[in-house]
Structure 1
Amino acid sequence: MVLSSLLVRNSAFNIVGAGLLIVASTYGLSRYTYGLFVPAIRDDFNLSQTAVGAIGSASYLGYLLATLVSPLLVRHFNPRMPIILGGMTATLGMLLVALAGNPVWLALGVTLAGCSPGLAYPPLSDAIKQLCLAEKQSRYYAIINSGTSFGVMVSGPLALIAGPQWQLAWLCFAFIALIATLWNFFIMPGNAPNHELSNRVKPGASQEPMFTFLRRKLKDSSVRRLLLGALLFGLVTSIYWTFSVELIAGEKSLSDTGRVIFWIVVGIAGVAGGLAGELVTRFGLTKALKWATLAIAASIALLTIASDGILMLTLSAVLFGATFILITALYGIWSVSCFPEAPSTGFGLTFFLISAGQLISPTFAGLGAEIWQLTAVFQVTAILCLGILWLLPTQDVWSM
């Protein structure tokens, strides 16, 4: 059964499997796993919290720049090209981290690895639209988006196995990214996206100058809410990804094994984010995003009061893992709804702004932690997260 599915290029197994693995490699491993290794990296390279935050911000800067390039590559070539480039940068970046002997090479590797999801992720919307029937697109996208959680989940056991030789884990991550790149090379479409149906109603986005197209779209209040919400979401969530393990390792005095288990729980919980498509179909995007926002704010706040209780730490990890993946999927579905004539452009712009927020906050969080404490930084972050509730869709969305 699996063998026959492998032989059919546009089978559900190949589309979902290849997409999920490239997301796991570029997001779950290349981008977010840095936070798991922060205590070991800080000790081995003798880095301050400000330096740790700056390297984390450099990763987000790489992603930010890549999201500008990716939609242009789709518009002028095809979805496959940026996806493969993303896989290649993930492989090379993580290889550099694995071999780094000083902070400069470490920062370069982390930054290059950070570029990979910015290249590979936005084109997946066009790829899904080309390869999947309309009624399956939201479901397939939500499952593929949950690949981040699988990457995070895999990184934990590999970190435990590697132990003090943490760079060996990054070598394994690079190998996984290489496999993902090769699989996507054979599966993802090499044809330019075709939006003829949308073009019959409006001028084609591929023919309209990008600046003119974006200026027209920004007149829509729903688009403005989407983009501002994405920016705020990025601001608050990158602090958790970058400093949660540092918080529980330092101020909460959790053991090395306990930190890794915490990270694995975040990853396992993220699989629930694959239900985003079903939740949107059943309850609508507005209601799903509202409750998910309340839950992720609670997850950030819980980490600040989990001084003695493993229960609170576990609840925080479960809530954050599940709702982070869920909310990214919701923003992805919302962006396609707002940009039906150019899905990868909407995707790219939305996740560009998420990354813009993620670029800014780790450095300031690191500075705040040195002036006050990480606990205070997380408390402020939880309050800011609630601002997303004022940026929900004006018109509900029920499908991609």
Structure 2
Amino acid sequence: MSGSPRTAVPTRSRPLVAFVVTALLTSFVAATYGFGFYLFSQLVTDMRHDIGFDYTVVGTITAAGQLGFLVFALFGTWLSNRFGGPQITVGSALLCAVCLMLIPVTDSILVIGVLLTILGGTAASVYVPLVEIVGRVIDYRHRGKVLGLISSGTSYGVVVNSMLVPPFVGADNWRGLWYSVGAGTLMVTGVAALVFWRLGLFRPQEADRPPGGGDPGATRAESARAGWRMVLVRWVVIIWVMKFLNGFACMPFQNYLSPYLREELGFDIDFAAQVWGVIGVIGMVAGFLVGWLSDRIGIRAALLMCYGCFLLSAVVLVVAPVGVLPLLSGVLFALAFYPIYGLVPAYVSKTAAGAAATVIFGVTNVTQGVGGIAGNYVAGLLKNTTGSFMWYYAVIAVATVVLMVLTLRLPPEGSAEASVGRQPGPADRLVKEPAPSQPTAPVVHTATEVQR
């Protein structure tokens, strides 16, 4: 490998590189999102019996995890602009692996709560730089499907959880499950670090290098400042509001699904695990398929389809959570949830670039974290007031209708109105003459021009 900084992947090797990087990023999302809190939500009943804590503690830990997500989204954005997205993504995955393996070591619920809070944070800091990494490696016309697949990484983690929870819990060995997923995450992180180093992703990209040399951090800082100025752009504000509502609705939906099914509706552990398993299996393909579809029909249309499924899923849990219908609700939720979290970064990736895209997407994760905190608080408040989680699922249905209205207000990705501050990177330049059915690369505009 040459010692000079590598700024672009050779064209012939790009498909293989894109596949490997996509698989690794998907694994990171599977670990930080699919494990951690989602594993805790499935093991909470068994951990409560063993360690001894009540649902006030569970609610506090869940809220703390959302706070960790919020703090790490802000901190991760700053670190990504300072040191580079690939470094922060790998570092966050390593921190996630360490926390997963430390949870079963202690019986202190306080220590476990701190570790879960950090895990919630790594979910944000590993995700924020993805738009930068994808922009450097993946061709413009494929970013929707790739980010859709990466967003489905959570489902791979959920599938692993659903397969491992019954045998480990049946053997009264919930601690062994934490050790297992932690060791797996550590192995994937080591492989990713080696691959990123071999590809030169830890070095600054060409767009970050000032003409004639100089400090690439200065160019990144200027691009980041342009990203912060996007608060004056209408579509950016809409995206931030949508991410708040995504956190408000989607996160509590999953966090309280198992307690709602097992403790309120009377379903057993096997049925709850089956629902989670179906969610995971469908999510494994839903993100990619909807992302692939969004590259053809547009991201706005794909978002509307997802929010329609999400609305129906919530309505089922409110109107008729009986028999196998909660399983149908899980199917609809999986069809919506995983693609949604890939479509938003895909929209940002297709309308902004470099550090500016990282800042814009970083703030979306902050607003999502705030929404998650608010949603978990409101869900707990409604549970204590009414005695049922059902009313919060009714609130989710209303929030989903608002999200559909906001989606209709977004300009199409790639349009002159939507494109801001883009400087085509190596992946963009490979697509010189896209086919008529493919979206064309965005028109280059500076942040100042768009604000005018």
TM-score by length of 1: 0.89
Q: 1:162 aligns with which of 154, 163, 168?
A: 168
Give the paired residue count: 388
Tell me what 2:413 maps to.
Answer: 397
2:283 is equivalent to residue 270 of structure 1: yes
Deviations along 1:217-256, whole A, 9 cap, x unmatched? Answer: 1111111111001101100111111100000001111111
Mean CA deviation greater in 224-233 or 23-32:
23-32
Distance 1:93 1:78 in 2: 23
Tell me what 1:4 maps to.
Answer: none
- Relative to structure 1, the CA distance from residue 110 to residue 306 in structure 2 (aligned partners, 3 Å threshold; closer, same or farther) is farther
2:154 is equivalent to residue 148 of structure 1: yes
CA RMSD of aligned residues (A): 2.5
Deviations along 1:70-124, whole A, 9 cap, x unmatched? Answer: 2222222222211122112211221232223021122012112112121211222
Deviations along 1:331-359, whole A, 9 cap, x unmatched? Answer: 11122234334222222221221122112
Q: Secondary structure at the match of 2:238?
A: helix
Q: 1:339 aligns with which of 352, 357, 363?
A: 352
Bigger CA radius of gyration: 2
2:391 is equivalent to residue 385 of structure 1: no
Q: Is the 8 A contact 1:10 1:131 kept in 2?
A: no
Tell me what 1:95 maps to.
Answer: 101
Distance 1:142 1:209 in 2: 26
2:273 is equivalent to residue 257 of structure 1: no
Tell me what 1:120 maps to.
Answer: 126
Mean CA deviation greater in 212-221 or 123-132:
212-221
Structure 2, gaps ≥5 residues long = 1-12, 212-217, 415-438, 442-452
- Relative to structure 1, the CA distance from residue 76 to residue 193 in structure 2 (aligned partners, 3 Å threshold; closer, same or farther) is farther
Counterpart amino acid of residue 268 in structure 1 = V
Tell me what 2:9 maps to.
Answer: none
Tell me what 1:3 maps to.
Answer: none
Mean CA deviation greater in 218-227 or 67-76:
67-76
Structure 1, gaps ≥5 residues long = 1-6
Q: Is the 8 A contact 2:299 2:343 kept in 1?
A: yes
2:184 is equivalent to residue 184 of structure 1: no
2:335 is equivalent to residue 322 of structure 1: yes
Q: 1:359 aligns with which of 355, 367, 373?
A: 373
Distance 1:339 1:353 in 2: 18
User: What does residue range 202-213 of structure 1 map to in structure 2 within 5 Å?
Assistant: 206-208=220-222, 210=224, 212-213=225-226
- Relative to structure 1, the CA distance from residue 43 to residue 25 in structure 2 (aligned partners, 3 Å threshold; closer, same or farther) is same
Post-superposition offset of 1:380: 2.1
Q: Is the 8 A contact 1:28 1:147 kept in 2?
A: yes
2:121 is equivalent to residue 106 of structure 1: no
Counterpart amino acid of residue 160 in structure 1 = P
Report sequence identity in percent. Answer: 21
2:50 is equivalent to residue 37 of structure 1: no
Q: Secondary structure at the match of 2:222?
A: coil
Counterpart amino acid of residue 278 in structure 1 = W
TM-score by length of 2: 0.80
2:29 is equivalent to residue 23 of structure 1: yes
2:183 is equivalent to residue 175 of structure 1: yes
- Relative to structure 1, the CA distance from residue 215 to residue 345 in structure 2 (aligned partners, 3 Å threshold; closer, same or farther) is closer
Mean CA deviation greater in 37-46 or 108-117:
37-46
Deviations along 1:8-62, whole A, 9 cap, x unmatched? Answer: 9962442122111111111111243322223323433443333212211111211
Counterpart amino acid of residue 182 in structure 1 = G
Q: Is the 8 A contact 1:60 1:111 kept in 2?
A: yes
- Relative to structure 1, the CA distance from residue 48 to residue 381 in structure 2 (aligned partners, 3 Å threshold; closer, same or farther) is farther
Tell me what 2:296 maps to.
Answer: 282
Mean CA deviation greater in 177-186 or 241-250:
177-186
Counterpart amino acid of residue 413 in structure 2 = V
